[in-house]
Every structure is written in structure tokens, then in C-alpha cells.
Structure 1
Amino acid sequence: MFTHSIRRYSLTVNKVYSLSEIKEMLLLEEEEAFALYEEANSLTEKLFGKSIFVRGIIEFSNVCAKNCLYCGIRRGNKNVKRYHIGKEDLKKIIMDAHNDNFKTIVLQSGEVDVYDNDITEVIEYVKSKCDIAITLSMGEKSREQYIEWKNAGADRYLLRIETTNRKLFENLHPDDDFDNRLKSLMTLKELGYEVGTGVMIGLPKQTEEDLASDILFFKENDFDMLGVGPFIPHNETPLRNIKSVNMSMVLNFLSAMRLVTYDTNIPATTSMATLDKEGREKALNAGANVIMPNYTPQKYRESYKLYDNKICTKEDAEHTMEFTKKTVERAGKVLVLERGDRRR
């Protein structure tokens, strides 16, 4: 059975996997799929113990110049209420997160350039006040902008590739160029950021071979954090009628990604819990070692919906850590209040 191969692979540091081996893992079902999750979890606990790192996400703006076909805050959605949190309010929110024991925050927004200088000021201010890791997730920028933010004190950058299938990427992102996305990721690595990327699972015309190629791409480029998001449709996008992917494929991908990339940081995401009410707990037992709760002020959360039925839009930020701790404990893990830098 393939299960025996999984067990053998998980004990091998930096084993080189073939495309066919990864594809086979993605197609596992029932008992063999559960064996895959168990081996990925065993490897994760070998590397990190039962520790789960936490990053607080602050969605500070839903203003976006891009028109990606799957995204609820795309430029073409005229029914979303646009907002932007000003720099002084953003400074306060980050300091509140620090006071609530977050050691890492993620500043996430739509893609526009008009607020870039404000973010430089915010980074410099926060770094002068406390030791908190700052991750940016603001899309493609110029090399000069990446340098400015790095010099200001930014530690990490998340830039999802969404798919390594060039044609599929360009069909989904009418304003983007695949080669430029690759160039941006390589520039971020060169500049010394911890770099995160990731893909969406369940996109129309996406194949298991595409997904296996995504995982090989992650391994070859040794990214520091890898996210996997299930496709969930938004009713104000061109993909509104496409069905969501099933959770088993998400878990298969996550576990395969853990076994192949070995020691990278992998989050259990909000979208997983939207797809399956126990999605984050399942992910934390299938290879994930990070959880990323929403620390955005409650009044803005309804307006930052990349997909329909997003959970946690009614919670207050002040209770975020408490809710997160309970989620992690339900998974039999331990929330640790550390920066959670990549362990090499």
C-alpha cells in the first residue's frame, strides 16, 4: 500500500519527491488519506512539538485596483463598502495586538500604491515601540518599495502565486503577469525577507498535476511560509457559480506539502474553517503549525470578504486570542506566544 511509502518518506529529511509521488498523495482517499494526515502530523510534532504559532491579521484596507476573477474585493465589485484604516488608527490597533500578546502581526490589504508611504511610517513607529514581527501582504510592489519597507523594519512578506500554471494564473488575474509575480517573489527573498506564498485549491480547470507542480515549486524555492486556500465562491465575482472544493483535497494537499517541504511554516486558515466548521482543527492535525486569527476591528470585517460566508466577522478583536487558544486546544495542541520565525 502507498501508506507504507508515506511512512518511509516522512522519516527522510529533505527527501526529493517526484511529481507522480506527490500526485498520488493528492488522490488518496479514506484510510490511506488519514494515514497521510497522521504522518504529516507526526513530522510536524517531530519538528515543532505540539506548539502552534499565532499571527494576528489586520485587514487595514479593502481598496483594490486589481480585478482578479475569484476575489470579493476586486475592482469590479461595486457593491462592497470600501474602507481604509488611517495610519494613526492602524498604529493603535497594532499596539493593542501587542498588548494582547501577539508577537507577529500581518498587515493585509487590497493592491493600491497610494498608502505605501503611510505603511512605512507605521512600521517605523511600531518597531520603535515594541518587538513584534511585522508581515506585509499588500501585493506586487516595486523593488524600491520592498527595500523601503525592509529598511523600516518589516520582517516578512506574503505574496501568493495562487497557481504555478501560467495560463491559469493569467486567466484568473487579468491585470497581472506571471513572470512579474515570480520576479517579485525572488526579489523579496534576495532582500532578506522571510517570504510566504501559497495557492488556491479548486480553481476551474485546475488539475491534480497542477497542484503537484505547485508543491514542487514550493520545495525548489524553499519558501518560509506556505498557505493553502480552498476556493470558495463570492457572489459578486465571475466565478460565482463554481462549486467549492471539498475539505479532503485541501487536507491531502496540506499534508503532502508538509512532507515535501519539511520544515516550512504552514497555517491553518480562516477559509478552511469557512469550508468546514472543524477545518482549522483538522488542518492542525494534518501538518499545519500556525494559526492566523483575524484582529481587524469588528466594524470593518463584513467589508473584507474575499469569499462568501467568511467566519469570524462578528467577533471583537479583544477576544481574538481567547477564541484562538480554544481552537488550538480542541486540536490537542498548545498555542505559543512567540514570533515563530522559520526554523532552519
Structure 2
Amino acid sequence: PRYRMSADEIVKSAWKGYNHDIKMILLQTGEDPLFLDYMIPAIKRIKSEMPDAEIICCNGERTEKEYQALKDAGADKYILKFETSNPELYKKYRPHSTLEKRLNCAHLIKKVGLGLGTGFIIGLPGQTDEDIANDILMIKNLQPTPMASACPFIPNKGTELENEKAGDLFYSFKVVGISRLINPSVCMPACSPYEYLKKGGQIDGTGIGCTSVTIRLTPDKYRDLYQLYTNDRITINLDMAKEVVEAAHANWENF
């Protein structure tokens, strides 16, 4: 693994957010076979020390037993994006898995009583408008789904797609707007790729259907060990998040 945080470190990081009135705590890992060893005690402590906090897990494709263990420990929701509704495109970019397996995991998540967060990527090389339309409908078909994201593709250095073109921001916003109309009750994040593609992109996102932002609470000593995007990665801190939220409120008041 890149690194493992202890349960103590996870709880301490959660307190950093909670002390600023952040009540939704996202615990994200890679597909670590030992993830329950630190996730379970961390979740139990967060629920004990911060009883009104909502815990969201994002730990990849797991078994029903593992999803149940997270639920029993106190987890509320689980994010598992299907990424693309096109089975061939999915297999191309995730050759070790299948879309069928991914969707089966999504159903298991809901079966054990966790709220499902899902979503897809906009602008994958080889993706068509028809694929995007099916992606939007996939979110509807997976209802009830309290959370869903539609984020533009960002090429990452050191991967096979590093020289591909990034997703188009304006097109992404159109997709988000349509997704919001079809799925009016889901929480949709103004994801950091919006900001990567345009300064102020997250603020723009709140004007077309996005309703949340994610703040990174990972301890500084671990941040360089994991970068979702190495190319000028945008890290959202508390001040940036406040700016987005305040701008969103101002936009709505002027609407």
C-alpha cells in the first residue's frame, strides 16, 4: 500500500473537520485487503465521539460481509462509482473487473442498508453522447441513491491516458444540469476537476446543480504519498470550500 493511517490518525483527522462544523466524514482507501483492521475501530470511535456525524465510506469493490461489517460499525453511506455504463469501455479501462461486478457490488451496498453514492466520468476517450445519456439514466436506475457525481476526465501523468485530452468543462456542466433535472433529490458534488479546468469552476458548478464540496483532511505527511491527479492537482482546503459555499449562497440570493 502507499500508506496506512492508524485508527487514531483517522479519528484525529475527522475531528479537524468536525471542529469546523463539518458533519459528513468521508473515509476513503485503496482496495486494501486489511482495510477493516483500521476502518472498523475508526468508525466506531467517530460515531461515539461525534454522534451526529455522518460517515461515508469509499473502499472499492468488497464482499457483502465486508459491507455489512462497515454498516454494523456505524457507517451510513458508501461511494462506489460505476464510472461508465458502457460494458466494453469499462472493461477497457478496468481490465481486472467488469461493469456487471461493479453493479452487483452497488446492489450489495444497498442490500446491507448503506446509502449508495455513485457516479460517472465525462469525457473518457472513446465515450459517446449515447454513453453519457445512458450514464445519466444509470443513476436513475440505481435509485434510491442519495449521492451521485458527474466529473470530467482528467489525464494523469504516468498512465496510458496521460496524453489524452481532458473532459470539456462546459459539456460537463450541461451533463450535470440534465442529471439534476432527472435526479432532483441527489446530492451532487462540485468536484475538484471543475476547478482544475477553470479557476472558479466549482462556484460555477453550484449554479447548475451541484450541492456540495469535499475538503481534504488527510494529514500533511501523507498527502504526497497519494495524489488522485499528479498534474497540478487542486486540493480543496477549508478556506476554498468556504469561498465556494459563500459564492453559492450569494448566487442563489440573486437568482
For residues 171-220 of structure 1, give each alpha carbon's deviation from its aligned partner in whole angstroms, at most 9, with x where no partner exists: 10022122111111011112211110011111111001000001111112
Question: Is residue 216 from structure 1 mapped to residue 137 from structure 2 by the alignment?
Answer: yes
> Alignment partner for residue 202 of structure 2, among 280, 293, 301?
280
Q: Check whether the contact 2:29–2:35 (CA below 8 A) recurs between aligned residues.
A: no
SS in 2 for 1:268: coil
Q: Indicate the larger mover: 248-257 or 110-119.
A: 110-119
Q: In 1, distance between residues paired with 2:225 and 2:176? A: 28
Q: In 2, distance between residues paired with 1:271 and 1:108? A: 18
Aligned pairs for 1:91-240 (under 5 A) are: 91-131=11-51, 132-222=53-143, 223-240=145-162
Q: In 1, distance between residues paired with 2:14 and 2:81? A: 23
Unaligned runs of 5+ in 1: 1-62, 64-81, 335-344
Q: Give, as a single letter, the amino acid of the residue that structure 2 aligns with 1:141.
A: R
Q: Check whether the contact 1:270–1:293 (CA below 8 A) recurs between aligned residues.
A: no
The residue aligned with 2:8 is 88
Q: Check whether the contact 1:109–1:137 (CA below 8 A) recurs between aligned residues.
A: yes
Do the aligned partners of residues 116 and 83 (structure 1) sit closer, same or farther apart at CA in structure 2, a change above 3 Å counting? same
> Alignment partner for residue 223 of structure 2, among 297, 301, 314?
301
Q: Check whether the contact 1:160–1:196 (CA below 8 A) recurs between aligned residues.
A: yes
Q: Give, as a single letter, the amino acid of the residue that structure 2 aligns with 1:324.
A: A
SS in 1 for 2:71: helix
- Tell me how far 1:109 sits from its aligned partner: 1.7
Q: Give, as a single letter, the amino acid of the residue that structure 2 aligns with 1:321.
A: L
The residue aligned with 1:256 is 178
Q: Give, as a single letter, the amino acid of the residue that structure 1 aligns with 2:233.
A: K
For residues 5-35 of structure 1, give each alpha carbon's deviation from its aligned partner in whole angstroms, at most 9, with x where no partner exists: xxxxxxxxxxxxxxxxxxxxxxxxxxxxxxx
The residue aligned with 1:311 is 234
- Tell me how far 1:333 sits from its aligned partner: 4.7
Q: CA RMSD in A?
A: 1.5
- Tell me how far 1:302 sits from its aligned partner: 3.0
Q: In 1, distance between residues paired with 2:170 and 2:246? A: 22
- Tell me how far 1:297 sits from its aligned partner: 2.1
Unaligned runs of 5+ in 2: none
